[in-house]
């Protein structure tokens, strides 16, 4: 997510720091090189990864820059539209490289509302569709809330984008002053509740009350995504409140394309091991059942299990 509320204004920074950020923006636009990592969005009711969010990792001279700081610098120097165009194209191209066959799930990509309201951005998006670089049904535009926008005007623009098959998510819900009006007017396909309102929700009645109200406004919790899930207690709380989807370190840290590819190879190796085991025994053998169940879990919630392997060097066999 982007961070900040709808009324956020770009903070003043020392001139040298700001010029450094502007240089980073210029460099990315010139080289058309930007690193991405991808974090799964999990349907915890069905027990499967149902989408991913693309998170850019800008760098200059090897130094990492906080994404929200970088994007705000792009807004401040009037390069947000160019940056958003680059992010949409590169994040989807990069993500497709991780998968040997088809694009696996929809990809949520952060876009500033100011870019959406520019005809040049919409024209660029149309060009990506026509060239087949991006398929509309694979893209979910996640509108960041830290740039002020005219909700009514944005809603008319969104209708145009939606007519092409693109879906819309509203990010950082709960931290802006216009949260409920934005949800009501924009009618997004998904709303993403800001992590600050999800962390510790199991022991915070005020956060539970906010989420209950949002479920009421949305009609159900099916199109609500809880960000920042880190504990089983928080997951069980949002599940009991009717929320279907969640995202956070409880499931997985964001992963690079190389890490995803490594993970998929692990899955294939486990499948191969299972088939070899079946050749010498029967399906009802407890060892076969246990290995089969491990693969099922690896395929559905593979990120979380893969992280456990990476962090503790444990084998799943």
pLDDT score, position 176: 67
Beta strands in the chain (DSSP E): 35-43, 48-57, 59-60, 63-64, 107-111, 139-143, 167-173, 190-193, 224-227, 245-247
For residues 141 and 226, give the distance between their C-alpha atoms in angstroms, rounded to a whole number: 17
For residues 195 and 180, give the distance between their C-alpha atoms in angstroms, rounded to a whole number: 17
Q: For the chain, give the mean pLDDT.
A: 80
Beta strands in 217-308 (DSSP E): 224-227, 245-247
pLDDT score, position 103: 62
How do residues 250-291 score in pLDDT, each as one tens digit? Answer: 888 888 888 887 877 776 777 677 677 767 776 667 776 777
pLDDT score, position 301: 54
Long-range contacts of 312-316 (CB under 8 A, 24+ apart): 316/270
Task: With a cut of 50, say whether residue 39 has pLDDT above it.
Answer: yes
Q: Is the pTM of this model over 0.85?
A: no
For residues 192 and 285, give the distance between their C-alpha atoms in angstroms, rounded to a whole number: 44
How do residues 79-100 score in pLDDT, each as one tens digit? Answer: 889 999 999 999 988 888 776 6
Task: With a cut of 50, say whether residue 249 has pLDDT above it.
Answer: yes
Does 61 or 159 have the greater pLDDT score? 159
Sorted by where each starts, the structural domains of the chain and their CATH numbers stand as 15-247 (3.20.20.450), 257-312 (4.10.280)
């Amino acid at each position: 997510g982007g961070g900040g509320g709808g009324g956020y204004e770009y903070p003043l920074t020392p001139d040298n720091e700001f010029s450094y950020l502007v240089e980073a923006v210029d460099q990315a636009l010139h080289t058309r090189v930007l690193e991405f990592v991808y974090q799964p969005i999990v349907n915890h009711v069905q027990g499967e990864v149902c989408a991913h969010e693309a998170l850019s990792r800008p760098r200059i001279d090897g130094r990492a820059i906080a994404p929200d700081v970088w994007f705000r610098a792009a807004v401040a120097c009037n390069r947000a539209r160019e940056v958003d165009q680059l992010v949409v194209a590169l994040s989807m191209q990069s993500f497709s490289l991780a998968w040997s066959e088809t694009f696996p799930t929809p990809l949520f990509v952060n876009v500033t509302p100011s870019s959406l309201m520019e005809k040049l951005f919409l024209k660029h998006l149309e060009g990506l569709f026509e060239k087949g670089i991006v398929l509309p049904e694979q893209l979910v535009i996640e509108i960041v809330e830290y740039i002020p926008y005219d909700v009514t005007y944005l809603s008319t623009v969104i209708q145009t984008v939606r007519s092409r098959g693109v879906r819309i998510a509203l990010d950082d819900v709960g931290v802006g002053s216009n949260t409920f009006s934005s949800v009501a007017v924009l009618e997004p396909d998904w709303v993403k509740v800001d992590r600050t309102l999800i962390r510790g929700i199991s022991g915070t009645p005020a956060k539970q009350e906010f989420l209950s109200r949002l479920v009421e406004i949305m009609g159900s919790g099916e199109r609500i995504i809880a960000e920042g899930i880190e504990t089983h207690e928080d997951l069980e709380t949002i599940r009991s409140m009717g929320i279907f989807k969640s995202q956070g370190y409880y499931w997985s840290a964001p992963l690079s394309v190389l890490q995803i590819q490594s993970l998929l190879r692990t899955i294939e190796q486990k499948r191969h091991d299972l088939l070899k085991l079946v050749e010498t025994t029967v399906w009802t053998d407890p060892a076969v059942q246990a290995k089969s169940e491990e693969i099922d879990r690896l395929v559905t919630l593979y990120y979380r299990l893969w992280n456990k392997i990476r962090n503790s060097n444990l084998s799943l066999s």
